[in-house]
Structure 1
Amino acid sequence: MKNSAILISILVLLFLTLSCANDYKFSLEKPNKVVINESITIKLIEKNNKAVDKIQFYVNGKEIASNGNLVNINTSDLGVGKHAINALAFYDGRTKKENGFIEVFAKNKPTIYKYKIINEYPHDSKAYTQGLEYYNGFLYETTGRRGQSTLRKVAIKTGEVLQKVNLDKKYFGEGMTIVNNKIIWLTWENKKGFVYDLETFKQEKEFSYDQSKQGWGLTHSETELIKSDGTNKIWFLDNETLKEKRSIQIYTNDRSVNHLNELELVNGKIYANKYQKNTLAIIDAKTGIVEGLGDLRGLEKEMAKTQKLVANDEVLNGIAYDAENNRLFVTGKNWSKLFEIELIKQ
């Protein structure tokens, strides 16, 4: 009996010790939705007012300076999108981590644009358009689907395919762009791209992209490739190494914008097709804010005058810009027309 009483006493003492040690209850206090450029305060509260030795705060995995149990953040330093917030508390020889996020939105609604058709040109109705680019008076185009993916040089006025090469049938071709007399072409699910000589269409090398989800659209600035992956993210790759460097999230004042597809850089803004929506998003390349939305749904009606679109994926896709003559071209998957349009602010 004596030994049993001692054992019970030890167990009770151990239970009380563990109960006291576990009597720390933390709460991460923060706003969930904020507007870009707002300053916010995030706090880690110990609900029972117990002493805490130290608290460390992290935003997107990077530690930031704190003031005791709180931290002040200017959302302009983060950009729009979802951002991970973590607080690590040190107490009584233990640690406790609280996780959360904040979602940053644009301040203003996007400007809405209608369009005016300037010209119509023939386009190969068998071309499942994935990438489109204007270069030195010609259109360069990539098409998709396994076994049907091609790279083409096209005469604008006639739609004639002047040069063509097929992609290996195991790949599903996606967007392309032209940099330093090289054509860079993405594939969809293989996390792999290819580099071709502009003049000969000879494949010279391949490269991989490991951070983004898939390969969708592609364009470029003077220093970087700009890539979509079907999500609400835009990725930036080094022009020389073709390695992914960073990404931005694409947001309006009230939502994220996903399914971003074909891309074109126009006067410093990223123009992006939103897959299956016949909408053109105009995006600030630095912040990810959608500044404008081009409503191009009426082009389907124009197509219906001469062609019946039978598949639900025969949608707007393909943007090319002639900077010298300020011409904007758009087409769609299996569309028999290429449109030169002018966007008109509403």
Structure 2
Amino acid sequence: MFKSLTIIFLSALAISCGSSSAEKKKSLSVKTNSENHVFTIGNTMDFSLNNPKNYDLGEVTFSFDGKPVSSSVDLSNIRLGEHQLVAQVNLDGEPETIQQTITVMNDMAPKVYTFNIVNEYPHDITSYTQGLEFYKGELYESTGQYGESKLRKVDYKTGEVIQNYDLPKEYFAEGLTVMNDKVYQLTWKRGTGFVYDANSFEKLSSFKYNESKEGWGICNDGQVLYKSDGTEKIWTLNPETLMEESYVQAYHSKGKVVELNELEWVEGKIYSNRWQKNGVAIINPVNGAVEGVIDFTPLHNKVTQHPKLDVLNGIAYNPETKTLFVTGKRWDKLFEVEIVEK
């Protein structure tokens, strides 16, 4: 009899204590005016806290990407991609956060572009091209693979290598860009980039990736550097410290564009090829919107076919001719093209 009373007493005690804070938190959620929390840029997001069991939560406050908001957010001037909407509540005397990921996509499909070939030039068939850029009329190239990685200055009309620097064998070189007489070259998985004198190729310094894990492509607008890491993110690097300060996410009207690789700054836009693809995305550097795509598929068949032939990689804009120069990994041709809307 005593044992039965003890069990009844303990059961009653458990019930009287009610739900734990963790259980209460599970019943709470952030509700928005989109069922799947996906919005289009230009819309307004309305939100509230869903509290189906009417727990006493004290004052509920919201933040969007860390900034206080009330009950709605205008999505007209916002970066595309994922954002965090957070509700701050009080559960059993302790502060708790309820978080919801919000996705903002572009409001229109990308324009489709094709190209006309202006010229074809010879290109070193052994070069595993990773980065390509014109600077003061000269073409700089970064090549990859362990034991083969190089920094080069090339006569693009003849394919002759004017200047060459071999990286240590432990580095797999990736993209490059040139700004203020300095070459910035990324490496893949070592989390390290190098800075060289653009004229002598003397190594001046190195820098670390503080947020992203890998180095893929890099370009500049004359003031700041932009870096890809193989995801949908394009990072902005401080030109003085080379620290990653912020990023945009490449999105079009259907979703994100991942594996962004070689980057090139072209008249206010970022051109990026995708790894293992023959297309180039035209990206708005302010909000990450993929505004256009260029299909370079036919170029692959115009180069010498051989066992080590790889994908399109290498985009260089020549501001003097206002044309784009495109090649690939172990391609024997460099194509000068003009871009036209399809």
TM-score (norm 1): 0.91
Matches within 5 A, 1:1-346: 11-19=10-18, 24=24, 25-30=27-32, 31=34, 32-60=37-65, 62-66=66-70, 71-303=71-303, 307-311=304-308, 314-346=310-342
Offset, 1:50: 3.6
Query: CA-atom RMSD, angstroms?
Result: 2.0
Offset, 1:9: 7.2
Partner of 1:117, secondary structure, is strand
**Matches of 1:53 and 1:344 in 2, distance apart?**
59
Aligned residues: 336
Contact conserved, 2:137 with 2:320, CA < 8 A, in 1? no
Offset, 1:48: 2.1
Offset, 1:210: 1.6
Partner of 1:133, secondary structure, is strand
Contact conserved, 1:56 with 1:63, CA < 8 A, in 2? no
Contact conserved, 1:218 with 1:263, CA < 8 A, in 2? yes
**1:115/1:20 CA distance change after superposition, 3 Å:** closer
Q: Which deviates the most, 213-222 or 73-82?
A: 73-82
**1:290/1:8 CA distance change after superposition, 3 Å:** same
**1:15/1:160 CA distance change after superposition, 3 Å:** same
**Structure 2 gap ranges (5+):** none
Structure 1 stretches of 4+ with a deviation exceeding 4 A read 1-5, 7-10, 20-24
Offset, 1:12: 4.6
**1:323/1:3 CA distance change after superposition, 3 Å:** same
Contact conserved, 2:41 with 2:77, CA < 8 A, in 1? no
Offset, 1:180: 1.1
**Matches of 1:335 and 1:297 in 2, distance apart?**
14
Q: Which deviates the most, 163-172 or 130-139?
A: 130-139
The letter of the residue matching 2:142 is T
The letter of the residue matching 1:317 is N
Offset, 1:4: 8.5
Offset, 1:98: 2.5
**Matches of 2:57 and 2:95 in 1, distance apart?**
10
Contact conserved, 1:281 with 1:294, CA < 8 A, in 2? yes
Q: For residues 201-236 of structure 1, give each alpha carbon's deviation from its aligned partner in whole angstroms, at most 9, with x where no partner exists.
A: 111111111201210011101221111111000001
Contact conserved, 1:54 with 1:91, CA < 8 A, in 2? no
Partner of 1:300, secondary structure, is helix
**Matches of 1:59 and 1:169 in 2, distance apart?**
45
**1:130/1:3 CA distance change after superposition, 3 Å:** closer
Offset, 1:88: 2.6
Contact conserved, 2:78 with 2:287, CA < 8 A, in 1? no
The letter of the residue matching 1:300 is H
Contact conserved, 2:225 with 2:238, CA < 8 A, in 1? yes
Contact conserved, 1:321 with 1:328, CA < 8 A, in 2? yes
The letter of the residue matching 1:324 is E
Contact conserved, 2:280 with 2:294, CA < 8 A, in 1? yes
Offset, 1:145: 0.4
The letter of the residue matching 1:265 is W
**Structure 1 gap ranges (5+):** none
Partner of 2:234, secondary structure, is strand
Among all aligned residue pairs of Structure 1 and Structure 2, give the percentage whose two residues are the same amino acid: 41
Partner of 2:76, secondary structure, is helix
**Matches of 1:180 and 1:12 in 2, distance apart?**
74
Contact conserved, 1:55 with 1:88, CA < 8 A, in 2? yes
Contact conserved, 1:105 with 1:255, CA < 8 A, in 2? yes
**Matches of 1:215 and 1:284 in 2, distance apart?**
21
**Matches of 2:157 and 2:320 in 1, distance apart?**
17
The letter of the residue matching 2:68 is I
**Matches of 1:288 and 1:243 in 2, distance apart?**
20
**Matches of 2:331 and 2:4 in 1, distance apart?**
86
Offset, 1:249: 0.3
